[in-house]
Every structure is written in structure tokens, then in C-alpha cells.
Structure 1
């Protein structure tokens, strides 16, 4: 497992977690005072705490040696001290422990909890196998890239801290109150804690990053190659993907089936990327990671797409068969990976043609403006309206769809690693992390000024 096998899935998992804006409700918390929490809410909340602790332990154990190796600037020293305080003590977690083997290996029915589980699994495997070989082989440029990744990971944790503060027993990160800076701290300590320290640390590293540093994605643990790579699982997966390409030329996908198929192909890309890494084909591994990102973008762009025309049961079935076979595969050779790549290219071409034709025929709709409808008795009520999907009302979908064509797909390189991390950083900034404290102070100042003006008017009138 190389560092790229860790950074990619962990970044994807955290980005997906950030898209869930109401975790308390999604985990089953009570909707209002008259409603009780759904059964299992407490257990789900405790699982999230245990999973988060494992991700934080990974960030601490990987980051501290690198921080100390950078030198003794005050900013670096303060960040090293903060890492120790940020990770909760295991005894303070629910049940006095982190997640056990069953909780890590079993898929959770709740989507948000399972995303945290995936992040924790990657973090645990990295700590056990990938970390020591990685620390022994990195140069300074590569160390800076890893530290930037850790900084972005902690920035995401801060943003999530603000959302999850209502969960039972939630433990805020050190120097914060529910994800925000603890303003009761002395001024000289505030800059060494919380979001301010993270932002300053990341801004200090960013100008020093070089393309050479992103070669760290190829370093880490190298597993033993299986004696007989491939086997029946590879043949089964290739056959299912070839049949999927044939079916896509015959079958029209309804909106619900399309979303399931896109999620399945995202998972297929991740599994083929894993097998390419086992085969030693670094270029193909990066290429399949790019494909997974494209399908992830399509999944996000089609969440509000509706349409009942067509079916898609056969396409979804063959995708599921291919994913199951790839999950069971324990190894592959370069020839097998290339066969998978050729089959996936054909799937992408057929899927692009199918989706383009469905949009052109008007099979898909997006939610439009609310309209007022008159009912019996003269009562008006609002009702959702739907309009055919176009470039104007589905810009994300139409911008991402051409990337399905292999010829127009971004080529994996060091630039792709940079772009993935930059996009994650921009996502964090867009979520409001960088301006939260400045906006808070501005609101306080405006409120104080308005209060002073009101009091002046009262005194003048009296």
C-alpha cells in the first residue's frame, strides 16, 4: 500500500463526509422536542467518535516526526504541540476504546457512518503497514506534501467539529468550542490553537511545494506479489464489463438506475486501481483514480435528476457482478489490468452515448421553481415543478459528462495529484473555515454599533 493508496481514498472519504450538512439528523437525532431519537442513534454517534479518533491518530503519528524534522520555528513547534492535544485519549472515548475489528470490517447501513468507517480503515492500515517504510524513504520535498495533506485533513476535522457538536459525548478539538476558536484563551495562545494555527501552517507550506514532492504517492509499503495473479475473478469481471458495454447500447437508463450505475462504476474504478497497484502499473493506477473522480463528480451532479423513462436493471446487474468479482480478486498482472482498462473504456464510451441520447430526448428532468396550484375550495398550495435537463439548469452534469470519453480524460501525472489536493483545499475554504472568525468579529462590531445608535435615539427622544 503506497502513500497514494492512502491519500486518495482518505481525501475522497473526507470530501464525501463534508457534503453531508446535517449529520445530527442523518444519524437519527430527534427532529423536534416532541420526537424521540430514532433507535440506534446513540450507537451511531459513538461509532463516529471512535472512527474520528482513529483518523486523528493517523494524522498525529505520521505528522509529528515530519514536523520535528522541519526545524525549530515557533510555528512548527506550536503545531507539533497542538497535534498531541488534538487526539482524544482512548479511555475518554465511548466504551473506553476505538473501533474494533468487527466495526471496521462490517459495512454500516447508515451512509454517513460508513463513510467514517472507510476513512478509519484507510488510516488504520496506513499506520500499521505504510507509515514506517514511508518515513524511512521520503526527502524534504515529499515531506512537505505529506504535511500539507495532514494540514488539509485537520482543517476538514475543524469544519466537521462545528457540525457534530450536538452528538452525544462529542469531544471538540483542542483550542476550540465546537469547531470555532476558543476566544477565552489569551491572545498569544489563540494563534497557536485551532483554525488559525492550521491556516498559517498550510499557508507556510504551500509556496514550498514542488512537482517532485508529489512522487511521494509511489512510496510506502510494497506487498508481496501473489504467485498466480488474476484467475477466475479477473475473467469474471472482464466478462461482466464487456456484457455491460453491450447492454448499455440496448437499454435506456432511468434516473434512479443511472445513479446506482454511476456509484457502482466509481467503486469499480477504485478496485481496478487497487489491482493496478498490486501489478506494479503506477500509471494505470493513477488513471483509474482519475476515472473514479470523474464518476464521483457525476454522482454529485445527478443527485437532483429525475426521470421514469427506461429501466436499467441489466446494466446495474452486470456492474454489480463486476464489482463483486473485483472485490474478491487478490492480485492481477499487467496484462489483466490492461484488459480491464479496455473493457472500462468501452463502457465509458457506451455510457456517454446513452446519457447524451437520453438528455437529447428529454428523458431526464431537474427540479424547477415552486408553482402555486389552486385546489378545491379556493385554497392555493405550492407544488414543485420539473423541467427537462439542459445545459443551463444542469451545468455540473454537462461539464463533467465529456470527461467520460477516454480521449478527453485528464492524464494522470504529478499535476493530477496537485489538482486533487487543491480542489480539496478549495472545498474547505468554500465551507467557510477560513473566514469564520473574521465574520464573527464583523457581526459583533455591527451589532454593537446598531445598539449604540438605538440608545442614542432613545436618549434624544427623551
Structure 2
């Protein structure tokens, strides 16, 4: 997620910007009380390694700028014709072209003995992991204009920090400075000012790559935790499209879960009761729905476990041998909203792609049916608004949860404020030595 990767990158960069006396931090000579522990050649190798870590940060910056402003071709342009974002991207491309290259996998995964080099490794690691965010919801076209400006401001501040550290590390033996560092610093400062005119939208931190849900394996957990386990596994199995019969079993399980959860959560009893009523109406509306495509067996099994476990837990609560924790109840409500969203997607997909069909009576007698009493004929037709109006309206208006306004993570603003303070940080002046007493 962008919040995690971007936050780690800014935190480690802030740490480095507050560090001075670089040679001593690499084992170089300091005052008479700090002996030299590394040779010039060893510090040269450390400087080259830091340069490779820095290259990862530069690549992350240029990818962020491209995601915020994806103008493809900058050939034939000049400083006068390029905008702030385009100028920053151009200067980053120049710096990357003359940089030392990316670090190897061993350098990214092996902890470094020097704290300063370890901070650089964490920057490179966060930048490398952050590259996946731009292909998972953080690209241009998926962001609002304000979010694009927020991303551009983040990239500009990181670039400013890298330029500042480049100047500070100039005394490292064999240090390779950034190409046209002055132009890059000017472009980053201009772009940061340009992108910082409007109020930022830190909900961008909610975007980016996220790991897929996995099953909670093992034996059934006790109490309400076991219900959460079954609901979680149900949500995972609903990633595979269920057949119509399994879908009805899932609907009935959610009715039971909602009915019993209303007794466990008095504060949200009305919401749980409404959810149970909605699922009861869905069960009636899907009575004549058929479809054999899909594999809903695993989902139906977990749904049955969730229903049986919450019934057992409710009886234990009424008997006074168990109690429901508020945190677990909130987690159950969150899982319920996600299951509602997924079931709504399944039903709408089944109607749109003609995977589910509605059984409609045909005004003729089925002469081929067994038995003396012949029923009327029936046929299955695609689910349309004319045939399944009640079901589709239930899914659209009542089952699908209302979209909640996204809220930025708690540390979203704090990490950026810390980096802004570190960019203007200056070391404290040395204390004046006390003279002889007069």
C-alpha cells in the first residue's frame, strides 16, 4: 500500500537528513575519542553501495511524477516550454541516466552493519516495493486532480531530500554526485511549490498494491473468533463464482448471522435486523433462480460453519458463559459489509453475463412429466429487469452497502510534516568553549 511504502521512505529519508558528520558514521576518523574503524577503500565501497540505494529512490521519484503527469515525449522541449512536473521528470531522467544502477537482491535483503547504510537500504526497499503501487490503483486516470498534486508533492520532496544528501556526502571517497544536481534541486523545489498550492488529499495513501486475502487454516477457533474465521474464509471463497444453489445457501447463512448478531450488538441491533430482513427477501426473490455454472461448494461450507457457530455462541451468551467483545463485533460488521458487496457483484454479474436464469411458468401442460398429474411447463430465461425486477432492485438499493467516504490514515500528514521539517533542518552550533575564569 502507498501509505506503508511511502511512509517508510519518508521516515528513513527524514532520519538521514538529520544526520551529519557522515565520515564518522561510516567508520571514518573523528575526534580524538572516536577512532577510525574503516579504511578509505571500505568507505569507497560503502559510498558506491549508497549510490545504488539512491538510484532506487530516484527511480521511485520518476515513476511517481509519471503517474501524476504522464506526458510521454519530452524530446525537443526546453526549460522554457516544460511545466514544473515535466521539468522535474526531465531532470530525474538525466540523473538516473548518469547514476550507478540499481542494487542487487542481496543488498536489498541483507541488513547492513552501519546504521546510516541501513537507512539507505530501507529507502531502496520501500522504493522497490512502492513500484508495484503505481500499477495497482495509483496510476494516472485513477486519481483525482488533487490526488495527482499530492503525489507530485511527495515525489518533489523526496527528490529534494536526495539532492540535499548528495551534497552532504561529497567527501565520501569516490562519491559519484548527481548529474546536474543544481538543476534537479531547482526543479524539485519549483514543483513542490506548484503542487503545494492546494490542500492535499491524503486518501491517496489508501491506494496501491495490497496482498490478497488468504484462508485462515486450522481447526475452528472458539467463540466469536470462530465466526470471524468462517466469515473471512467465506469471503475468500466468494472470489470464485458460485452456482445458484450455493448462492442461496450463502444468503440463508447471512440471514442467520445477522439475526443472531442483532442480539449480540445492542448498539447496532437495528442495522443487523435490517440486514437479516434484506437477506430474507433475497432468499424469496432467488427461489426461482437457477444456474449450474460456478463452484460454490467451498463457500457454502464456510457459510454453514458461520451460521452454526454464531447460533452456538448466541446460546452461550444467553446462558452467561460467554461475552461478545466490541472489537470482534466491529470486525464482524466490516466482514458483513464486504460480503454484501461481493454478493451484489455476483448477482449482477450473473444477470449481466447470463450465468443465472429465472424460472418462468409456461401456459402449457408438460405432457412428458412423470405421474398422473401433469404440471405446467417451465422455462428458464435470462435475468432482466422485466423478469427479476424485485431481485435486482434489492441488490442495487438495499444489499449493496453505501459507499463510505475514505479517511486518510492517522500518520498520513505527520510523516510528510516530519520530512518537510527535516528538509530545512540545520545542525545545532557547537558550544563555545569556556574561557579561563577572570
TM-score w.r.t. length of structure 1? 0.45
Structure number with higher helix proportion: 1
Q: Which has the larger radius of gyration?
A: 2
Higher relative contact order (CA 8 A, sep 6+): 2
